[in-house]
Amino acid sequence: MKSNEDAYASLLNENERLNAKIRQLESQNIFFKTISDNSPDLVYVFSIPQKCVIYCSDRLLEILGYTFAEVQEMGERFFSNITHPDEYQEIKQHLERLNASRPGEHHSIEFRAKHKNGTWRWMRSRDVVRKRDENNATLEILGVAEDITEWKKSQSTLVSSEAHFRMLVEASPYTIIIVDEQGIIRQANKRTKVDFGYLPPELIGQSVESLIPDNLRHSHEKYRKIYTKSPFSRPMGSGLALEAVRKDGSKFPVEIALTPIQLDQKTMVLTTIVDITQRRKAEIMVKRSAERIRLLYDVTAKSSHDEDRRITNALKLVTRLLGMEIGIQSRIYPDEDLYIIENLYSPETQLRTNQSFSFKHTCCEITLANEDVTTFEDLKLSQYSEHPCYKLLHLESYIGVPIRVQNKVYGTISFSSYKPRPIAFDYLDVDLMRLLAEWIGATIDSKKDKRALRHYTVELENKNRELEEFSYIASHDLREPLRTIISFCNILENDIGERIAKEAQEDIAFITDAAKRMINLIENLLEYSRAGRVELKLEPVDLNRCIEGIVDNLKALTQETGAVINFEQLPTVQGDSTLLAQVFQNLISNSLKFHGSEPPYINISAEPLDNSWVIQISDNGIGIAAEHAEQVFKPFRRLHSQGKYKGTGIGLSICKKIIERHGGYITIQSEPGKGSTFSIFFK
């Protein structure tokens, strides 16, 4: 009986233990489910024997669109349906790794799973063996999977961006290196071979200071550390020009741009290095070119009537510019073997102007043979080391060019030194010589022209003076016979005037009138000659008083014609008062003489012009046609018959000569029937 009770009690205890175990498991399941359902990732349990998912958290619906019921219904087909065919083999290997794993050891796998809507999602699952049998074979796998689709896309974009970045870095025409915070080169493009002589692998892992000359490394390291603490983008050209050192130890100028970047979750500096050797050379050439342009301007712009002085000054400037000792402009006579120094700049030699040499002993013989700029940096190393210009004159360096005047070789311009030239002559020096030769050739030609012009001017002045003297003397001597003719005609008329026929009386009157007109013409001719010969007595001339005096002189003629002469407030000008009065009296007299049917109206006005004056004399006279405007200022040019308007036709030419002697000029504007306006432009 007792044994039955003991057995029953034992069963009750076992049942209680089992129930407690069940409650514990249920509690654990509730806890597990609570955790898994609240996890942002998918939690699942996969049974190896059943080949299906036996548990799955609610995240399955959100991630792949399936309910757990649908998963259970598909059974072992679920994994085959959602797994990408390309990943079957990888999943198989993953299960093998799990089966061989130690207790608690995790293994991860990334694979694609098909969403219920047919799209593929990337999953990353971290798995561990949950249960094994007595033979240690895997029974259940616990997995935690996360949706990494967006991360995969960003990684793909990042990989693409990095590939694009690397492509740009490699395609750059400049050296690019990426340096970490310790100054170690982590990446380099292939341009390093061109600029520095290093292949990229040779630089990676090296300090960036290895590219800096020894004397600059310490200061560069100091500034690099300061920069690393607060890096900022520094564009090309904003920093000081630096020097870099190549693999072979040679140095060259560089310009550097710095750009902080994030790479492998670290701040690094992308450094762009540009070899500016050619730019520096170009800058030097531009500077030298500017110096030559400025020199040519200084040579050609300075005004001087002494051409030899201008040429000597040019020789001085170019000698200094080229760093030479001697500058010569020569005259050569090859047929006579003669070389003459016409102009010279040579402060430290015994050479002198007009010194002559054998043409064959000079470098100019070589220059003429070449017909262009000829240069020697070191004559003893050239093919002309035995030439007399080296043997006798001891010249070491030379640059020369032929001078042509009117397309014929006149001589040479050359610069030489008793020392070899350390730097070769370049195209700027050659161009300078050609331009200088052209200018000197033109200057020499101009000098010859000026010399000839001075000779002809002196001859012309002498002939004009002789002609004026002859005209004056001839005119003076002609007046006496004419006066005699007039006197005898008067005597003849008084003695026998009543006894001769009327026709004879008219003949005597005609002779007298012709003689008087001839005397008047001669006097005008003398006046014209005097206007060009008399010495000007320059003084301030008040034109108001000048015109008032002329109006008084012409009062009788003014009253006779009923003329009105109006003049405004006129200025005071610098001139010869007598000659200017002659000009205005002549012009006003013409206006009174050549009037139309209406009484003459004459207006005299003044206008300022460029610190001087324009005086205008306008009338309402008969005027002249435009085509005759220039004729009126020529001597003895008359536009009307002697019978209608008396005069010799020389008055306006006298006016023109007087005004021109004052440095001015006179013009006319006129129209038939509408009067004339004479404009006098004072200097």
Q: Quick one: 104 and 177 in the same domain?
A: no
pLDDT of residue 119: 92
Confidence at residue 164, expressed as pLDDT on a 0 to 100 scale: 66
590-604 pLDDT, tens digit per residue, is 888 888 788 999 999
- What would the DSSP string read from start to end of 525-560? HHHHHHHHHSPP-EEEEEHHHHHHHHHHHTHHHHHH
Of the candidates 62, 68, 77, 66, the one whose C-alpha atom is nearest the C-alpha of residue 146 is: 62
Residues 6 or more apart whose Cβ sits within 8 Å of residue 387: 363, 366, 379
pLDDT value, residue 604 = 93
Q: With a cut of 80, say whether residue 516 has pLDDT above it.
A: no
Residue 474 inside a domain? The answer is no
**d(Cα 274, Cα 652) in Å, to the nearest integer?**
79
Say yes or no to pLDDT of 410 above 90: yes
Would you say 326 and 415 are in contact if contact means Cβ atoms under 8 Å apart?
yes
Distance of alpha carbon 165 from alpha carbon 171, whole angstroms: 10
Q: How far apart are CA 511 and CA 513, in angstroms?
A: 6
CA atoms lying within 13 Å on the CB side of residue 563: 29
Domain stops at, among 425, 455, 485: 425
pLDDT for 544 equals: 92
Q: Is 328 helix (H, G, I), strand (E, B) or coil?
A: strand
> Which has the closest alpha carbon to 584: 559, 608, 567, 562?
567
Per-residue pLDDT, averaged over 296-325, amounts to 80
Task: Give the distance, in angstroms, between the CA of residue 474 and the centroid of all CA atoms in the same chain.
Answer: 68
Q: Alpha-carbon torsion 429, 431, 434, 438, what sign?
A: negative
Q: Is residue 567 a part of any domain in this protein?
A: yes
- Packing angle, helices 427-496 and 307-322, rounded to 10: 170
Please give the structure tokens belonging to residue 344. Answer: 């010279």
Give the pLDDT mean for 32-40. 56
Candidate from 193-197, 273-277, 326-330, 500-504 with smallest mean pLDDT: 500-504
Judge if 539 and 676 occupy the same domain: yes
What integer pLDDT is reported at residue 643 of this predicted model?
46
Could you give the number of structural domains in the chain? 5
Cβ–Cβ under 8 Å, residues 366 and 374: yes
How many Å is the Cα radius of gyration of the chain?
Answer: 58
Angle formed at CA 482 by CA 479 and CA 485, multiple of 5 degrees: 155
Yes or no: say if 489 and 512 are a contact pair by the CB < 8 Å rule. yes
Which among 143, 109, 119 is positioned nearest to 64, based on CA atoms? 119
Q: Which two tokens stand for residue 545?
A: 């008083």
Q: For the ranges 23-37, 171-185, 252-266, which has the lowest average pLDDT?
A: 23-37
Gap between the Cα atoms of 259 and 273, Å rounded: 12
Please state, in angstroms and rounded to a whole number, the distance separating the CA atoms of residues 496 and 170: 130
Element (DSSP H or E) covering residue 235: none
Separation CA 131–CA 140 (nearest Å): 5
| Residue 398 pLDDT class (50, 70, 90 cuts) | very high
Q: Does 10 have pLDDT greater than 70?
A: no
Looking at residue 641, what is its pLDDT?
42
**Which of 27, 86, 63 lies closest to 143 in space, CA to CA?**
63
Sign of CA dihedral 18, 23, 28, 33: positive
Computed over every residue of the chain, the mean pLDDT equals: 82
- Answer yes or no: is 652 within a domain: yes
- 650 and 552 share one domain: yes
- Joined tokens for residue 308: 């030899």
Same domain? For 315 and 241 the reply is no
pTM, to two decimals:
0.41
CATH code for the domain of 361: 3.30.450.40
Highest mean pLDDT: which range of 184-198, 345-359, 515-529? 184-198
Distance between terminal CA atoms of the chain? 163
- CA 371 to CA 375: how far, in whole Å? 12
| Strand segments (E) across 189-308 | 242-245, 251-263, 266-275
Average pLDDT value for residue range 631-658: 66
Tell me the residue length of the chain.
Answer: 683
Domain C-terminal end among 425, 443, 461? 425
Tell me whether residue 477 is in a domain. no
Burial of 123 (0-12, 13-18, 19+ CB in 10 A): buried
Mean pLDDT for 90-105 is: 88
In a domain, 501, yes or no: no
pLDDT at residue 671 in the model: 86
Same-domain pairing of 322 and 269: no
Q: Looking at the structure, tell me whether residues 132 and 168 fall in a common domain.
A: no
Which of the four pLDDT bands, split at 50, 70 and 90, describes residue 639? low
Asked if residue 440 is part of any domain, the answer here is no
Mean pLDDT of all residues in 28-40: 55
* Same domain, yes or no: 401 and 539: no
CB atoms within 10 A of CB 23: 10
394 with 354, same domain? yes
Instruction: Let me know whether 316 and 225 are in one domain.
Output: no
Residues spanned by the domain of 344: 306-425
Beta partners for 572? 542
CA distance 234 to 257: 6
Q: What share of the chain is helix, strand, coil (3-state, %, to 5)?
A: 50, 25, 25
pLDDT, mean of residues 301-315: 78
Instruction: List the CATH number of the domain containing 84.
Output: 3.30.450.20
Spatial distance between the Cα atoms of 420 and 108, rounded to a whole number of angstroms:
80
Structural domain contains residue 658: yes
Measured CA to CA in angstroms, residue 315 lies from 298, 370, 400, 422 at distances of 12, 22, 12, 21
Co-location of 206 and 326 in the same domain: no
Is there a domain that residue 463 lies in?
no
Burial 581-592, CB ≥16 within 10 A → b, else e: bbbbbbbbbbbb
Q: How confident is the model at residue 5 (pLDDT cuts 50, 70, 90)?
A: low
Instruction: Calculate the dihedral angle through the C-alpha atoms of 480, 485, 486, 491, rounding to the nearest 10 degrees.
Output: 120
Element (H, E) at 512: helix 502-533
| Nearest residue to 508 (alpha-carbon basis) of 497, 523, 520, 519 | 497
Same-domain status, 47 and 99: yes
On whether both 28 and 55 belong to a single domain, the answer is no
Mean pLDDT of 189-214: 93
